[in-house]
Amino acid sequence: TETALTAAPGDVALLPCYTAGNVTPNLTTWRKNGQEVITDGVSSPVGQQQRLVVLQDGSLNIRGVTPGDEGSYLCSSTLPGNITFRARGPENVSTSISPASTLSNRTLTVHRGTSVSFNCSAYSYPTQELTWSFRGATSSNQSLASSSSSWLDFRIDNTQPSNQGLYTCTANNTFTHQAVNKDTELLVYYVPDKHPDCMWAPAEDPSHILFSCSWFGAYPTPTLHWMEEWEERDDPAALGRGPVNVSEVTEILSVKLNRSQLSEGQKLRCTAQHPVLAPGKEKECSLTLKLPFPEGEPLVTAMDGTSVTLICSESTSIPPANTTWRKGLQQEEINPGSKYIVSDEGAVLKLTIVNITKDDEGVYFCRSENPLAVTELEVYLTVRTSSAYTGAIIGIFIAVLIMGSAAIIAKTVFSSRHRICLGNIHLQMEEDRGDVLSLVESDDEQIFQAAVPRLPPTTNGHQTTLVQIHRIPSSDHEDAETADTSPQQQEDTAQTEEPVDLVTF
């Protein structure tokens, strides 16, 4: 029953508990505003000095009321005999953490970044307290939430690896102090954003190559899988499978291949499988093997005393080639120093030869090696000495001189074209010999003379003279032809085109 009681400071207040009869309770507990203040049984001695005392009939005696004693007082008594209040629980303690996956050992897993709800419920009589607590790698025993109702909820947004650990819901019957714990292990899985790295390295045994695939930063450890594949010729969508097929739960997986197992166009693929990655969303890296192919100018010319830079670029090779400059047909390695400066700018390998001499002339090789093959770019360096240069200038000068003379001669010949000067034949009139022409072959200075037959006089009294000129080529004199014998008008023009076999007046 509820009773209202008023007291002044210093008063003795008596709060009655069991008023239905004169039975002495076995156990009496008093709570003030829900908090237990005193429990007492009939057998316990009554403390003389205590301000609060539970009397034999269960009533609470407050000796000397003080400010702060105000409140709501509740009495629970266990009576002897049939009339007994039985405390119950905690019972039906159940927890749920979601969304999460359950492993075979009942451990739950969630993915990093997700939101997770924790729920706990239980039943106790007369009262209970529910508490969620956490024990992780960095926190020993942290209380996360508590409640005195029949259920307790809380939530973690954006779960992180630090949220991994043991979650315990404790249901405590606050009357009997009986407690029940329910533990759940929670793992937070995660993967790195990046793809695995496919790399290669020469193995100790030079006939083998080590291909390694690494993928760090995933929890739990991923399964890496190396396989070999190629596109089928007749169906590019279909992939053939090669003999390479290795898989292991590891962060780094190496596979050693004999060089004879490798070929151009072959594809080596590494796939990383992980519980966080859905099937078909695996991360991967691959290497499609390509022959090395160093490129550059094959012919280089330089002046002695200067420096020259030979350039070679290698951007084709997969895996990346080891590219070096070599000298001579023996392909001796070039040691960088004051004479040779080797610089590497990404795919471009430069060789600078300082203070060139004639000895530097010759063949150089840009040698590119990858596991598949060695490919060389051959560069021939020609060294020009300064005397050769002078010679070239003199040569050019002479050539210009010859061409200039030719032009002057041509111009002279053209301007004096009214004189009879055809090819290498000069015609001269010999006044004193009347109708006799001298034919002079300038090459061999031979003079031909020919008697010209006189034609009968014409009706108008003029004479017509027939001149026959036979060109006698120095090479073949028999080829001379006889001119047309018909009389023609005199012509002032001479044909200048060669070969001229005949001129007729």
Ligand X SMILES: *[C@@H]1O[C@H](CO)[C@@H](O)[C@H](O)[C@H]1NC(C)=O
| Nearer CB in complex with ligand X: 139/207 | 207
Whole-Å CA distances, 233 to 230, 237, 239, 245, 265: 9, 9, 10, 21, 12
105 contacts ligand X (rule: CB under 6 A): yes
In the bound complex, what is the minimum distance in angstroms from residue 391's beta carbon to ligand X?
22
Residue 488 burial class via C-beta count within 10 angstroms: exposed 0-12, middle 13-18, buried 19 and up: exposed
| Nearer CB in complex with ligand X: 355/428 | 355
107 contacts ligand X (rule: CB under 6 A): yes
Residue nearest to ligand X (CB): 258
Q: Which of residues 375-414 bind ligand X (CB under 6 A)?
A: none
486 contacts ligand X (rule: CB under 6 A): no
- DSSP output for 90-102: EEEEEEEEES-EE
CB 285 within 8 A of CB 196: yes
- DSSP letter for 482, please: P
Q: Which stretch binds ligand X (CB under 6 A): 103-111, 139-147, 279-287, 386-394?
A: 103-111
| Nearer CB in complex with ligand X: 105/149 | 105
In the bound complex, what is the minimum distance in angstroms from residue 104's beta carbon to ligand X?
7
Q: Which stretch binds ligand X (CB under 6 A): 100-108, 168-176, 223-231, 378-386?
A: 100-108
| Nearer CB in complex with ligand X: 386/442 | 386
420 contacts ligand X (rule: CB under 6 A): no
Q: Which of residues 282-321 bind ligand X (CB under 6 A)?
A: none
| Nearer CB in complex with ligand X: 103/408 | 103
Encoded tokens for 165: 């650990």
CB 246 within 8 A of CB 255: yes
Q: Which of residues 323-382 bind ligand X (CB under 6 A)?
A: 355, 357
| Nearer CB in complex with ligand X: 208/326 | 208
103 contacts ligand X (rule: CB under 6 A): yes
Residue pointed to by tokens 């926190």: 139
Number of amino acids touching ligand X (CB under 6 A) = 9
SS3 35: strand
SS3 59: coil
CB 16 within 8 A of CB 59: yes
SS3 359: helix
93, 98, 100, 105 alpha-carbon torsion, rounded to 10°: 0
Encoded tokens for 257: 């291949």
Exactly one of 185, 231, 251, 435 binds ligand X (CB under 6 A); that residue is: 185
Which H helix or E strand runs over 110? strand 108-111
Q: Which of residues 193-222 bind ligand X (CB under 6 A)?
A: 207
In the bound complex, what is the minimum distance in angstroms from residue 224's beta carbon to ligand X?
18
Exactly one of 3, 43, 49, 260 binds ligand X (CB under 6 A); that residue is: 260
In the bound complex, what is the minimum distance in angstroms from residue 82's beta carbon to ligand X?
47
Closest C-alpha among 196, 200, 215 to residue 256: 200
| Nearer CB in complex with ligand X: 105/416 | 105
137 contacts ligand X (rule: CB under 6 A): no
SS3 148: coil
Encoded tokens for 409: 């001669």
Q: What distance in Å separates the CA atoms of residue 135 and residue 177, rounded to the nearest whole number? A: 23
In the bound complex, what is the minimum distance in angstroms from residue 258's beta carbon to ligand X?
3
249 contacts ligand X (rule: CB under 6 A): no
In the bound complex, what is the minimum distance in angstroms from residue 259's beta carbon to ligand X?
7
Encoded tokens for 194: 């990046």
CB 202 within 8 A of CB 195: no
| Nearer CB in complex with ligand X: 27/108 | 108
Residue ranges in contact with ligand X by CB under 6 A: 103, 105, 107, 185, 207, 258, 260, 355, 357
